Structure 1
Amino acid sequence: MSIEHVAIWVHDLERMRSFYETYFGATANSRYMNTQKKFASYFLSFPHGGPRLEIMQMPGIREAPKDGPSQWMGYAHVACSVGSETAVDTLTNQLRTDGYTIVDGPRRTGDGYYESVVLDPEQNRIEVTI
């Protein structure tokens, strides 16, 4: 068994697509649109394979409680491997410079990961790791 994709609801589909393309090297498929349901989505693939990320938008989806660095029950984060400690540092610094919230790190965790935790444009947590 393997995870094929993970999906998240978003407010601004194009902004989120651009964020993942710009900072994580994602490639989006053609925008899918179901006009009857007013549903739109992209599947984002990443340079080194692995599961895809589906970003989805549709009216009427209830807002989850999000408070920046606060955490809630359910899915906690998506972890993106960037290949090295230097790459973690570089991407984290670029995201900070570009105005994104850095929740933690870069740092070495108690279980040996080297990571930072950043918030995407819609306050979803992303672990940037080796």
Structure 2
Amino acid sequence: MRPKRTTRGALHRIAFRTNRLEKLRTIYVRCFCGASGEKHVSPAKGFESYFLRFGDGCRLELMRRRDIAARGSAERPGLCHLAFGCRSREAVFALTERLRAEGRPVVGEPRTGGDGYFESVGEDPGGNRVE
């Protein structure tokens, strides 16, 4: 859940974890006309990512973390999470509490992430992570 000037409930981005970051980026840029941003690198966490934009719509985040295999099934390659835009920090807090009140797990409390977005993370009934 991310504050952004957006239509309420608009899908903001889809994130994939991969062990082949550059290969996935190349395919989405060459074959699907994605426009890639600069690589984000966090050496302390062994983390790298790209945001790819497709027209004016949803973005795709491709992420690699060097210790992914050692971290367990929650951090396996593949779909990582869906992220929906919120209009403000207060809306992120409110949505987090709404999820909690409905009995949904909150696996990441509201915070500013390394990519600069204010976010929290919950789980849908299928166990998928939703920011």
TM-score range, shorter chain: 0.3 to 0.5
More relative contact order, 1 or 2 (CA 8 Å, 6+ apart): 2
Q: Name the structure with the higher strand share.
A: 2
